[in-house]
Amino acid sequence: MGRVADEVVRYANENHHELIIVGAHGRYYIHEYVLGTTAGSIIRQSHVPVLLIKKNPDFAYDRILIATDLSQTSKEAVQFAFNCFPNATFQLLHIVDVYYRQFFNATDLGEEFVDTKNPKTKIILEKLDNFLNQCRVDKSKFEKKIIGGYYADAIIEQANQWNADLLAFGKQGKSGLHYLLMGSVAKRILHLSPVDMLAVPPKSSSL
């Protein structure tokens, strides 16, 4: 008995579970936009990773998009996703805030343009390289992508364009991406993206 999200998280903590799997029913009512969905509440509160299923599950994820802000929490998300699905292809996505997008040309935002004259792209890609070097993963399974825009919309758009079948991210970070599971950004992704999601909390929050 009790509030669903609270009881699921409590039960997972008390029984030392390593993953919570939640199905999203796909129907959202007005009160849920105000109070937040049960799945969203579980993701926000959980001290262990949460896999949110939004389509018929087969758990054979081949293309995994990982949104990163280069933080330690983001690194843990990369490593957890890779350990769960080592045979997948990964795209490491870094969002350039919409304000800074004005300083980039459209063709500058991508790994294939690392040798262009714009040094800003090269600097960011070098940071992504250094970030991957610090992760315990097979770098050959990863490609890098930089896009500009509002966080939620950019992530949803890239997941669709790249045909991702899983979107992974850390629950907290050092930049604007920490809003991913807070407020309107979280609601927008949870409500509008059809892609399954894997939310990984920082290890320090684990019980």
Show me where the domains of the chain are located: 4-205
Q: At what angle do helices 151-161 and 183-192 cross, to 10 degrees?
A: 20
Residue 75 scores a pLDDT above 90: yes
pLDDT for 96 equals 79
Amino acid at 86: P
CATH 3.40.50.1240 fits 4-205, yes or no: no
**Cβ contacts of 111 within 8 Å, gap of 6 or more:** 125, 143, 144, 145, 146
Q: Among all chains, which residue has been given the structure tokens 């045909």?
A: 163
pLDDT of amino acid 177: 54
What do you get for the CA distance between the two ends of the chain, in Å? 22
| Closest to 149 (Cα-Cα) out of 190, 188, 112, 119 | 188
From CA 33, how far away is CA 97, in angstroms rounded? 25
- The per-residue pLDDT for range 30-53, each reduced to its tens digit, is 444 444 578 888 888 899 999 998
How does residue 25 score in pLDDT terms, banded at 50, 70 and 90? low
Cα distance between residue 48 and residue 104, in whole Å? 37
pLDDT given at position 92: 95
Contact 189, 156 (CB under 8 A): yes
What lies within 8 Å, CB to CB, of 48 at 6+ separation is 12, 13, 17, 18, 19, 20, 201, 206
- Crossing angle, helix 38-45 and helix 183-192, to 10 degrees? 130
Find the mean pLDDT for residues 54-80: 88
Average pLDDT of 46-66?
88
Confidence at residue 36, expressed as pLDDT on a 0 to 100 scale: 52
Predicted local confidence at residue 31, as pLDDT:
46
Query: What are the percentages of helix, strand and coil residues in the chain, rounded to 5?
Result: 45, 20, 35
pLDDT of residue 35: 43
pLDDT tens for each residue of 158-188: 999 999 999 998 876 555 555 555 556 666 7
- Predicted TM-score of the model (pTM): 0.82
Looking at residue 56, the DSSP 8-state letter turns out to be: S
56-70, 132-146, 184-198 — most confident range: 132-146
**pLDDT per position as a tens digit, 83-135:** 999 999 999 998 876 544 555 554 444 444 433 456 777 788 889 999 999 99
Q: What is the pLDDT of residue 26?
A: 53
